[in-house]
Amino acid sequence: ILKWKSRQRVFTVLFSSDITQKGYEKKRSKLIGAYLPQPPGMCICALPQERRTPVTPSSSSRYHRRRSSGSRDERYRSDVHTEAVQAALAKHKERKMAVPMPSKRRSLVVQTSMDAYTPPDTSSGSEDEGSVQGDSQGTPTSSQGSINMEHWISQAIHGSTTSTTSSSSTQSGGSGAAHRLADVMAQTHIGQYTGVLSVSTDAAISRVSAKIQQLVNTLKRPKRPPLREFFVDDFEELLEVQQPDPNQPKPEGAQMLAMRGEQLGVVTNWPPSLEAALQRWGTISPKAPCLTTMDTNGKPLYILTYGKLWTRSMKVAYNILHKLGTKQEPMVRPGDRVTLVFPNNDPAAFMVAFYGCLLAEVVPVPIEVPLTRKDAGSQQIGFLLGSCGVTVALTSDACHKGLPKSPTGEIPQFKGWPKLLWFVTESKHLSKPPRDWFPHIKDANNDTAYIEYKTCKDGSVLGVTVTRIALLTHCQALTQACGYTEAETIVNVLDFKKDVGLWHGILTSVMNMMHVISIPYSLMKVNPLSWIQKVCQYKAKVACVKSRDMHWALVAHRDQRDINLSSLRMLIVADGANPWSISSCDAFLNVFQSKGLRQEVICPCASSPEALTVAIRRYVNQPPGRGVLSMHGLTYGVIRVDSEEKLSVLTVQDVGLVMPGAIMCSVKPDGIPQLCKTDEIGELCVCAIATGTSYYGLSGMTKNTFEVFPMTSSGGPITEYPFIRTGLLGFIGPGGLVFVIGKMDGLMVVSGRRHNADDIVATALAVEPMKFVYRGRIAVFSVSVLHDERIVIVAEQRPDSTEEDSFQWMSRVLQAIDSIHQVGVYCLALVPANTLPKTPLGGIHLSETKQLFLEGSLHPCNVLMCPHTCVTNLPKPRQKQPEIGPASVMVGNLVSGKRIAQASGRDLGQIEDNDQARKFLFLSEVLQWRAQTTPDHVLYTLLNCRGTIANSLTCVQLHKRAEKIAVMLMERGHLQDGDHVALVYPPGIDLIAAFYGCLYAGCVPITVRPPHPQNIATTLPTVKMIVEVSRSACLMTTQLICKLLRSREAAAAVDIRTWPPVLDTDDLPKKRPAQIYKPSNPETLAYLDFSVSTTGMLAGVKMSHAATSAFCRSIKLQCELYPSREVAICLDPYCGLGFVLWCLCSVYSGHQSILIPPSELETNPALWLLAVSQYKVRDTFCSYSVMELCTKGLGSQTESLKARGLDLSRVRTCVVVAEERPRIALTQSFSKLFKDLGLHPRAVSTSLGCRVNLAICLQGTSGPDPTTVYVDMRALRHDRVRLVERGSPHSLPLMESGKILPGVRIIIANPETKGPLGDSHLGEIWVHSTHNASGYFTIYGDESLQSDHFNSRLSFGDTQTIWARTGYLGFLRRTELTDANGERHDALYVVGALDEAMELRGMRYHPIDIETSVIRAHKSITECAVFTWTNLLVVVVELDGSEQEALDLVPLVTNVVLEEHYLIVGVVVVVDIGVIPINSRGEKQRMHLRDGFLADQLDPIYVAYNM
């Protein structure tokens, strides 16, 4: 069976965690470890008997000696289970696969390993108390334990700091094999991608690629069997829905019968109420001992007699009722609730206070002592107290002194708590009641006696009310079931404030005048044998313990000779309902049978806060019931008996019979409470007087739990009395024995199968060796991701365990759980020791841990996510349908009444305007004409960072300067007409003059961004590349940049000897040219426009004179530009529309351009807006980076800017010049932020340009405002557009990209078939215009690409028009608005670049959508970029926070992408702020990032490879 299963499933095999810059040994062992024989010490399936003892035997106590780190958390101890897990792992070992280890930055590793952790003082996973910590002395001190840690740390500290050398795996001869292996792994996929990455010989490239390849290979293994049925999720994407497996086991038994307990015998001398019992014993046997408390040395501290209990309780009752508040307005009246806050080592004070409340007829609400103001779960306790209306807290002197105090000595209000009066109950602080005062002792009635708190699965705290009659009946039922008699001695180790400890040790004991020996938890920590010693010392008849107390006693008992347990007639095991307690019971019996312990003495019981005691085993001479159940069957809620040889079985013991006077049945856990069949697991329900009656103040929840009427299969109720749900899952077996297999609270329903958290914990703990995590500090819970529960395991890691070891353990836990439970673990996280939130008694606070995990505040030190294994309900990958021919599409559109998606701007020929510049064909002629007609008209004003004018140019100044530059080009540069000249200038006036100088000389200018003086190494090669690619014959620049190009830093970055001649324009000749060049033909080249696209392609396009003039005219008409106008421009002037606005438009239209270099905003963010305000500008242009700088930099300064007189009310258009989908969130926040300064929200808009046409759309002055639509993101993935309402799920807002420019025609075409598409269909935007570029000047790579981009024809319909393909996906939508010319307005919406879109699972995803989701996932994520590599989605996030938060992001990023995009993230990379490269337009350079990641150049904080 196992072999067959192992082929069926993906086992997340190995995975451990390494450092980004790691030593060669680690790398080598990781890569070739799987192929080498295991050294004996590394044996993966170390069997239990090989468990190693810890390195240092601690000397603090003789009991600690043998409790090695291998000692197991007693609740889950089962040797059979351990062997089963080891066997399953051994099977795995035969088919082990290498899985990539996550990479961790060295600082992160050193920090987490070297922190001086204090190991947890408690390490129990049980809900309540911690376990004794055997090796709690800190990290090991012997050489053996610390040697590899020290060696490793020294290696980390002295290792090389450069990522290339230390991560290269060819450092020493020995790693050749590893290098070759990495190469083999990298090569397997390289076939398809040869063009993408230049594979260098450095191993660094193959390192990340090899890991990804490993991941791809692992993921190729077969998944769980596929499922065929689906449900439609909102029309669009079909999510798999779990279909029942036809072979799954189904219950076949008959319908069960309700089980009746024995009759509750009516004994004549049973008291009529508990207070009456106290009065009886307090008056007739005042000297009888009631309670003996112990100190931490095990010596009796105090003996409370029945007489003292009676008198002190009376005193407390009198003081509560008469000494709080005033006579007229007492604070507490009978029936009010008060809280009892007593520490675990003071049962006597608690008992006095509890009975004092009963006598005063007020309702005690016992809770734990709050240790700090921020205890885990303390807030929820506060809500309970508030809802109960508690105003008084009773406490002891010592406890009162220990509570946190404010500087004035008052007890602060705890978070979420009501205001309380703290009242100390010690006798010396109380007034004596007057002689004539006597408490009113009634027979038990339906008034509430006490409220017991209960913590739910989600962390909320409820109060279960128990009436006085239920309290008394429960004591009677326990007395009968346990055969209690007067003056018996009972040893109680349990918490006396609630549950079994309260019922036996405080309540039933008083009814029967028994003597309770109370063992505090602090004594158990020091001496785990103390309870056994007290049983011997007092010859106790009964002991109340948990299985962990039995386990600790086993570990410590060897030193004891004279133990005799023959006096015990009952050993009540309070957590006997936990199936994993059976092994402790068996082991305890084996060891102590020789010491007088009889088998029938061990009595497991089952209890719950709602139903009190559910069942208890009676001490009769019959062997206990056992069941070996198939774990597989249990996940379907079916009982199937199995043999112990099988690996996945659960052995359960009975918890005895139904309580006297009660009826029990089991009902289906969800839906209507229908009776189960005899072989079916259900929730146990009880009908009795002795149960809780309600959740205080919550009638709805009460009804669902306390008023259940079980139904028979025919639909009728089985009795007229309501049953109570116990929260326990189980069945009633042969002979009426009750079996419990788990709790409803621990139930996780994954893909329709039920798993119990306790069972998962047990399997995790059975994975030896346990040297890496703390026993019992393990939390298992489920989170809901993508319509199913996903299992999460969180454990505390020991500070001395290495990364490798922990990952080894983690991967084996995953294998074990997969083998035993046939369920995948979604996330396994290790946190540093002592960091999980604790309950007041030291256990793990489960709901708080889950909360921290979900909000990303858990700060794990290791994380392993396995979404590929677990998530089996993703939608089916989209199958590409055989393409419908373009003709059919067109006919289909016509038939359905859809128009073909096409639109155009105004017709240039029909616009009548007094455009004087139209009569010139060339811009150089326009400039000469302006220099003659309006010589002193200012065209350009350049501002510096202080907002003052740095420079300005009039028409004649520009003309004269251009003439001088033309002379220089001809004389000094010896250039011919048509030669190319690179202009390397900072943004300013020189650039403009140089451009027109080139036109006057007949040369073709290329504007190039100058290298950054602080970053020559990366910016200069780009300059060099553009100069070479554009075949520039000479380079013009300023004197300063001239020096920079010849500097030593430049020589280190590029070969400076190969620069073309460099001309410095700071020193110009004084003469004019003989003549100004006039081109022969308007179609000749005017200038070249070079730009790097977001996909990292450098492309130069050719702009002819005709296109340049048409472009300027189109912008003039759209923006209504005239000489009297002023326009503010804050853009980079090197390419696209930014260059045209900066250099060309003013000369053509004659308006004044106020130039603001974007770099100046870094020193003065308000510069641009102040200039707009000061010059009363109506039209301004900026980039997204400028807008972002203003939004972030001026967000808090709007008031002071207003005071400085900043006024934006005159702004008519503020256009963001962009080549991407409009960033609607940024434009909206900008509009909102500056609305108070007069900015009209409708003024902000965007433009759209691309390589083939530098401006297609631009919001002009006339025409309707830009519109926004909401589209369904899931439809977009299928290339469909479906409009939805704002705020509907999966909706994506898209803003129109400005108005189509005059002279521009647009059509939407299918990028594959080139057929025209209908309105509101997603396709490629094609453009036809007189200002289209005339072609690529040069592009690396595909030559056929070029002609297609500029000269495409539709395959159907209008096949004559020549179109240029923009490479952007978008759609057109006819709106209700009217254009300036009275037509209905067509809006163009851009979705994203075709090159950047990622095809995953057959669907098209746009990176920006995934990135937006990821940035929302956690407050510390400042930026995100995604790309794909070998079909894996890689998500890179920038972390703004401490490196310890890096691992919190991995599950959150994985969850959000799954939930919102139905995609599994393959790799999560966490990097520092500023690592994601962004170009001058503010666009992410995702391909550069990808190449940097694969070449291992990012120095990430953490890299997680999701399995």
Window from 82-91, 340-349, 1458-1467 with minimum mean pLDDT? 82-91
* 599 secondary structure, DSSP code: G
pLDDT for 488:
95
- Ranges of beta strands (E only) in 1166-1217 are 1179-1182, 1213-1216
More confident residue, 230 or 130: 130
- What is the rounded average pLDDT for all residues in the chain? 83
Give the pLDDT mean for 151-162: 36
415 forms beta bridges with none
φ, ψ (nearest 5 deg) of residue 23:
-65, 160
> SS3 of 902, please?
strand
Query: In the predicted model, is pLDDT for residue 795 greater than 90?
Result: yes
pLDDT for 779:
93
pLDDT for 331:
92
Return the sign of the alpha-carbon dihedral for residues 1218, 1219, 1225, 1228. positive
Per DSSP, the chain holds a count of helices (H) and strands (E) of 45, 60
Indicate the helix (H) or strand (E) that contains 685: strand 682-687
Distances from the Cα of 1209 to the Cα of 324, 576, 1484, angstroms: 67, 76, 33
Spatial distance between the Cα atoms of 1067 and 1038, rounded to a whole number of angstroms? 9
pLDDT for 86:
82
Angle separating helix axes 79-94 and 803-821, nearest 10 degrees: 100
pLDDT for 959:
95
Of 755-769, 913-927, 1027-1041, highest mean pLDDT? 1027-1041
pLDDT for 209:
73
How many other CB atoms sit within 10 Å of the CB of residue 347?
28
Query: In the predicted model, is pLDDT for residue 919 greater than 50?
Result: yes
Considering the entire predicted model, what is its pTM?
Answer: 0.82
Query: In the predicted model, is pLDDT for residue 234 greater than 60?
Result: no
Query: In the predicted model, is pLDDT for residue 473 greater than 90?
Result: yes
Query: How large a percentage of the chain has pLDDT more than 70?
Result: 82
Window from 283-292, 519-528, 1336-1345, 1435-1444 with minimum mean pLDDT? 1336-1345
Of 189-193, 918-922, 985-989, 1276-1280, highest mean pLDDT? 985-989
- Residue pointed to by tokens 């021919």: 885
pLDDT for 1465:
96
Query: In the predicted model, is pLDDT for residue 38 greater than 50?
Result: no
- Given pLDDT bands bounded at 50, 70 and 90, which one contains residue 1289? confident
- Ranges of beta strands (E only) in 1330-1407 are 1336-1339, 1364-1378, 1384-1393, 1398-1400, 1403-1405
Q: What is the pLDDT of residues 569-622, one digit of tens each?
A: 999 999 989 988 998 999 999 999 988 999 999 999 999 999 999 999 987 766
Query: In the predicted model, is pLDDT for residue 212 greater than 80?
Result: no
Window from 281-285, 764-768, 1256-1260 with minimum mean pLDDT? 764-768
Give yes or no for a contact between 105 and 1472, defined as CB atoms under 8 angstroms apart.
Answer: no
Spatial distance between the Cα atoms of 1070 and 1064, rounded to a whole number of angstroms? 14
pLDDT for 89:
82
Q: Which of 506, 568, 573 is nearest to 534 (CA)?
A: 568
Give yes or no for a contact between 110 and 803, defined as CB atoms under 8 angstroms apart.
Answer: no
> SS3 of 436, please?
coil
Could you give the angle at the alpha carbon of 96 between the alpha carbons of 93 and 102, nearest 5°? 120
> SS3 of 717, please?
strand
Listed in sequence order, the residues at least 6 apart from 200 whose beta carbon sits closer than 8 Å to its beta carbon are: 1495
Query: In the predicted model, is pLDDT for residue 206 greater than 80?
Result: no
Query: In the predicted model, is pLDDT for residue 1118 greater than 50?
Result: yes
More confident residue, 906 or 659: 659
Query: In the predicted model, is pLDDT for residue 441 greater than 60?
Result: yes
- Residue pointed to by tokens 């329709």: 752
- Given pLDDT bands bounded at 50, 70 and 90, which one contains residue 222? low
- Given pLDDT bands bounded at 50, 70 and 90, which one contains residue 1208? very high
Cβ-in-10-Å burial (0-12, 13-18, 19+) of 533 comes to middle
Tokens, residue 1236: 């108070």
Give the pLDDT mean for 1417-1422: 95
pLDDT for 198:
35
Give yes or no for a contact between 1069 and 964, defined as CB atoms under 8 angstroms apart.
Answer: yes
Q: Which residues of 361-396 are buried (b: 16+ CB within 10 A; e: fewer)?
A: bbbbbbbbbbeeeebbbbbbbbebbebbebbbbbbb
Window from 183-192, 686-695, 1108-1117 with minimum mean pLDDT? 183-192
Spatial distance between the Cα atoms of 1489 and 1162, rounded to a whole number of angstroms? 24
Give the pLDDT mean for 290-314: 94
Give the pLDDT mean for 113-117: 38
Window from 72-81, 406-415, 656-665, 840-849 with minimum mean pLDDT? 72-81
pLDDT for 644:
66
pLDDT for 185:
35
Query: How large a percentage of the chain has pLDDT more than 90?
Result: 55
Q: What is the pLDDT of residues 1306-1351, one digit of tens each?
A: 999 999 889 998 887 899 999 999 999 988 886 554 555 566 788 8
Return the sign of the alpha-carbon dihedral for residues 1306, 1310, 1316, 1320. negative
DSSP 1212-1264: -EEEE--SSS--HHHHHHHHHHTGGGT--GGGEEE-B--SS-S-SB---SSSP
Q: What is the pLDDT of residues 1179-1190, one digit of tens each?
A: 999 999 999 999
